[in-house]
Structure 1
């Protein structure tokens, strides 16, 4: 009996030794290299929260991604980085996607990350005669042409029964608008947060603000070129899974994100938290995006802003496969 017990113990010891040796050998094996990915993003915009959170909280790393985030001051500049081969994907609002499609560029929307209707508007100077929306007539207005700020301004002027030619639009980079208004080079500016809020704070009582809430809903997206979607189809679901987890975190934890996001780190904490319910984070590819792109395209065609006078088929600019794999119920694009 004792002999049999010793045999069993010896066998167990041998199995344990084999298991330990296997684990040691496995741990000595080089880990699979992380997939490199460069994301161009307007890190000064709250709509990039999911990208920043996925990077800082390790959601990208958990998906086997080695991500580098290149900061830009607009989605337009971020998309240009992808077109120039400096980045793999970009965060961008709808207007630059429209111009890219009208130019025949193979831009693909992987997912919408963020929506809000309360971050665009116009800031003017009272001492320059800007008191009411109607008083914008004849004024010099700073704007980043070909962006959502440009679209917002045109729609806002239209509500006042004005045309774009009844004001003088002066083109600036988004981060230059506030300084231009402070220096008095323009009488008003049209753009988005956090630049508008910072300008109002700096001007104090001299500032007057007009909301662009009814003029424009910001639909912020993750995009890539068709070449990337063809060559890295297996990577895209991993990117989207990381961003889905990060979006949920952005939605529920503004108190923790306030000091981390470049877009909010230097703003008043209470104001940021009060505004947070107006921000909607989460991955989707909704039919309403196609309708919005068509609406922006009609604006561009009417104002002769693009190289084409034809309405693109924006369904060609949708990459549905990635989000279908990760979150199929979030894909409502009719195709």
Structure 2
């Protein structure tokens, strides 16, 4: 038996505790602390270390978007960020209202619809200019008397109706076939419809095959002399008060700068796009930085002209929609 005490240095905790602690085999320390109390101190130190070196769930940011559309979110990655892709806009709207989603990237007109009932939502940045297209014609006026496939519940359809009106046509001049995006593609390839209205990445996939098309952004330039924003980043006011919001915005700005370098690989992987399809998309899509208010308001006006939102909400949104941080 050992009767003489031996000192054991607790290497793992010397940097965390205020003093270096020595223990003898009789379980009495040199600083006069009994072993049970020392054990408690060690446990507390372990918890403190774990707190600072492990990810904290409270700082995880949940980002929402709608399934099936591109954005700079496609190249944003962080271990503290969780991405949730929703099938329906209503589900995303409700998740934002309940606080289950901190930030979302959605169309400008979708924000306007959400914000009619949820005044807590703020636009914090723009993401992309309009990238939708009418596939199957080279001029909108060619659509008169034709079957046009579209997802009628979408803001894109409202934009289409606005451009139809600006081109001198009415909704009654065409026959609309309502279907989700992938079914629109199938109907177009079968010849069930003469043209379809769609957005990225479907638009570039069809343009890359040589189909005639009319870009929304070109119509805006022709009739309005300006280029509307399509996608915006929105967040709840309560989230914007947190320090994590600034970190997210830094990452979002970085994604804008890196889009042209990193997007190709992500688009191929996420949307099963070929090199040619990606090339077409990269030429068509324009990423936006900052908060171009006039171009966002222009998108709302087009959505109103197409019947997606009430015109009266636009003036109210001008005063409260944009984050001032």
1:39-78 counterparts in 2 under 5 A?
Answer: 39-42=63-66, 44-46=68-70, 48-49=71-72, 51-55=73-77, 58=78, 61=79, 66-72=80-86, 78=92
Give distance in 2, aligned partners of 1:219 and 1:18. 57
Mapped contact 1:247–1:282 kept (Cα < 8 A): yes
Mapped contact 1:93–1:148 kept (Cα < 8 A): yes
Question: How far did residue 92 of structure 1 move?
Answer: 0.8
SS at match of 1:215: helix
Match of 1:116 in 2: 129
Determine if the alignment matches structure 1 residue 33 to structure 2 residue 33: no
SS at match of 2:241: coil
SS at match of 2:169: coil
Q: Provide, for residues 159-205 of structure 1, a one-character-per-residue CA deviation record: whole Å limited to 9, x for no partner.
A: 4421122212333333432123234443321121211233456xx57
Match of 1:313 in 2: 316
Match of 2:212 in 1: 208
Determine if the alignment matches structure 1 residue 21 to structure 2 residue 14: yes
Higher Cα radius of gyration? 2
Mapped contact 1:40–1:79 kept (Cα < 8 A): no
Match of 2:26 in 1: none
Name the CA shift for 1:23/1:53 in 2 (closer, same or farther; >3 Å): farther
Unaligned runs of 5+ in 2: 1-9, 18-44, 221-227
After TM superposition, the score normalised by the length of structure 1 is 0.67
Match of 1:181 in 2: 188
Select between 263-272 and 145-154 the one with higher mean Cα deviation: 263-272
Mapped contact 1:116–1:278 kept (Cα < 8 A): no
Unaligned runs of 5+ in 1: 1-16, 125-129, 322-335
Give distance in 2, aligned partners of 1:231 and 1:54. 19
Name the CA shift for 1:215/1:108 in 2 (closer, same or farther; >3 Å): farther
Determine if the alignment matches structure 1 residue 144 to structure 2 residue 151: yes
Mapped contact 1:110–1:320 kept (Cα < 8 A): no
Give distance in 1, aligned partners of 2:240 and 2:313. 31
1:87-126 counterparts in 2 under 5 A?
Answer: 87-101=101-115, 103-106=116-119, 108-117=121-130, 119-124=131-136
How many aligned residue pairs are there?
A: 276
Equivalent position to 2:272, from 254, 266, 280 = 266
Give distance in 2, aligned partners of 1:249 and 1:76. 31
After TM superposition, the score normalised by the length of structure 2 is 0.69
Name the CA shift for 1:91/1:136 in 2 (closer, same or farther; >3 Å): same
Match of 1:247 in 2: 256
Name the CA shift for 1:161/1:97 in 2 (closer, same or farther; >3 Å): same
Determine if the alignment matches structure 1 residue 222 to structure 2 residue 233: yes
Question: How far did residue 39 of structure 1 move?
Answer: 1.3
* Alpha-carbon RMSD: 3.6
